[in-house]
Chains A and B, each alone.
Chain A
Amino acid sequence: MRRFLLQQLFRPHLIVIWLFLLSMPIWLTAVGGYYSLVTQVLILGLAATALNFLLGFTGVLSFGHAAYFGLGAYGCGLTIKYLAPSSTLGLLVGVVVGTVAAAIIGPLIVRLRGVYFAMVTIAFGQVFYFIVFRWNSVTGGDDGLGGFERHPIEVVGMTIDIAHNQMLFYYFSLLFFALAAGAMGILLASPMGRAQLAIRENERRARFLGLVIERHIWLAWVISCGVTSLAGALYALLNNFADPRLLYWAFSGELVIMTVLGGMRSFWGPLLGAALFVVLRDTISSHTENWMSFIGLFFVLVVLFFPRGILGMLRRKKEA
């Protein structure tokens, strides 16, 4: 078991990726980047990776993941604003809220497949959006939830000022990204992950092999939504703000796009997709009002010519 874990953790490409992510603050400004941007890439990449846990590895498309992202964000913000000024508590509550919601909803929807599953996730997403939007005495409604901020963390007598030091917050997010991604990665390499792949490839055959499909999908669903809500909570900490549009279906669509853009058959595809999407949008929109045309054109081209995403295309070339 230990050897298996070590094998998984130290694959060569993983080392490169982690070196890259860890060293980012050093060369960030040199390439014209800024912390807010890269932390956002990391957080959205985490959400997209979580989505891909379901989409690319279990073969189930959810178009309502924004809801859990938003629940995580609001759970975190509301905790810090009304309960206790603690970033970690906020994160915890955010994750719990999102995970519990997913756990409850899961059994209701695991029987559905394909576009029906996607639409029912939209339905739940829109209901949550409505609740958050209307309950404006608590959530601030359309004005959004502000008036809270991330607080420095007290640990072992030291104070880690993630509130004012953006680099520290980047590493803070990276830590949680590592934990969550690591957990998902290990799960995918485990028998549970194999079961998911089997379900993706051929559900009927998997059922004949004795797999309880619904339970596996439910598990994958809960994990996926749970990590997404973690990303949402981090997002609230990043911006010191949460707003209802985070729960809207259009945002779910963006997460799906990031996942497919980077390559949904690969674990790191979604992070790459998030990086591409966020950076491109940020760069192009600073240069032209018509950035939507360019982004749209980009999607169209990628879907037509690189359907396996950027990573998928690169992988294909390597195999050729």
Chain B
Amino acid sequence: MTQLILFNLLNGLIIGAFYALMALGLSLILNLSGVINFSHGGFLTLGGYLAFTIEPWVGFWGALLIAPVLTAALGCVIEPLLIRRLYGRDPLYSLLLTFGLAFIFEDLTRLTWGAQGLPLTVPAVLAQPLSPTLFFLTGYRLFMVAVVATAVIALFLVLRYTRLGLRIRAGTFDLETVSVLGVNIRVLRLMNFGLGIYLAGLAGVLAAGMLGLQPTLGGSLIMPSFVAIIVVGLGSLPGTLVGGLLIGTATGLTTIVFPSASEVVIYVIMGLVLMIRPRGLLGEEGRL
């Protein structure tokens, strides 16, 4: 029994890492710009499809590197076109606009690549389990954790040590002062958005390896990402990371005792947390 719990715990952390990646991108955009990006799932799906399309030329590793960049590029086109006009408004509007955007993404994806599910081939070297006993620790899952860990570390390094990162952090705190200090807010928000979408695209490539690639892929993953952010509270990136791991683990552990509730348990947890601590576990007063 303890072995079972251990397995599921480990596994939950692995899946949680994936959720954390998605939630981090969302959180970045939300914290700096106050935009609730409902189309995040759409960008994720796009990342997966782009990876599938360019894979014959650049292979899986190339796709892993390039597809998120392409997705981020698209994000950088959408931001000035649509998102920019929403800054300063009630976040409800960004939610609605990106909701509409998600519709468009799903439909255009289906139009371009068809409704039929597509198989993204993962390199054989990754598609092996580590050992017969620890068979669920496949190369691919560990690889996913490695990618997420790298991305997270890179993200924190960027935020901590680069000028862009410093400005993003400062802007999250007090955007007005940052603007007064001479920083180009437009460019800052654009880069921040692009960064968040890059993470979405990356998550998309990873998802396409583990799950089937379908136009509706992003829609099924978007809500758990929001839950990950809310449970721990808005405004904190490390918190979002913890949130992702938390919901992954919760799902994994619930599968042992009450499997049919494994999808709904994250909502139960979120509900309970919010009722006891209205700002999330670590949330700050004064945000949203």
Binding site for B on A (CB under 8 A): 61, 108-109, 111-116, 119-120, 122-124, 126-127, 129-130, 134, 249, 253, 256-257, 260, 290-293, 295-300, 303-304, 307
Contacts and interface: CB of A to CB of B under 8 A. Distances in A.
B131 interface: no
Interface core residue of B101, B226, B268, B275 (most chain A CB under 10 Å): B275
B108 interface: yes
A119 B260 CA distance: 22
A300 B267 contact: no
Interface of B: 36, 82, 85-86, 89, 91-93, 96-97, 99-104, 106-108, 111, 223, 226-227, 230, 234, 260-261, 263-264, 267-268, 270-271, 274-275, 278-280, 283, 288
A126 to B, nearest CB: 4
Contacts of B96: 256-257, 260, 299, 303
A297 B267 contact: no
Rank and list the top 4 A-B pairs by shortest CB-CB distance, nearest first. A299-B100, A296-B103, A123-B271, A296-B104
Contacts of B234: 115
B261 A130 contact: yes
Interface core residue of A130, A257, A292, A295 (most chain B CB under 10 Å): A292
24 contacts: A112-B278, A116-B283, A120-B275, A122-B223, A122-B267, A123-B267, A123-B274, A124-B271, A127-B264, A127-B267, A127-B268, A291-B107, A292-B104, A292-B107, A293-B103, A293-B104, A293-B111, A295-B100, A296-B107, A297-B100, A299-B100, A300-B104, A303-B86, A303-B100
A233 B38 CA distance: 30
B237 to A, nearest CB: 17
B288 to A, nearest CB: 5
A contacts with B: majority SS: helix
B258 to A, nearest CB: 10
Nearest to B223: A249
Contacts of B93: 260, 303, 307
B172 to A, nearest CB: 16
Nearest to B283: A116
Contacts of A111: 278
B45 to A, nearest CB: 14
Contacts of A257: 96, 99
Contacts of A292: 103-104, 106-107
A124 B223 CA distance: 14
Nearest to B36: A115
B270 A123 contact: yes
A119 B82 contact: no
Interface core residue of A130, A257, A260 (most chain B CB under 10 Å): A130
A310 to B, nearest CB: 14
A291 B260 CA distance: 34
A22 B91 CA distance: 38
Contacts of A296: 100-104, 107
A260 B96 CA distance: 9
Given A257-B96, A293-B111, 12 more contacts: A109-B274, A111-B278, A116-B278, A119-B227, A120-B271, A122-B223, A122-B267, A253-B99, A257-B99, A292-B104, A296-B101, A304-B82
Contacts of A134: 260
B2 to A, nearest CB: 29
A111 B91 CA distance: 20
B104 A304 contact: no
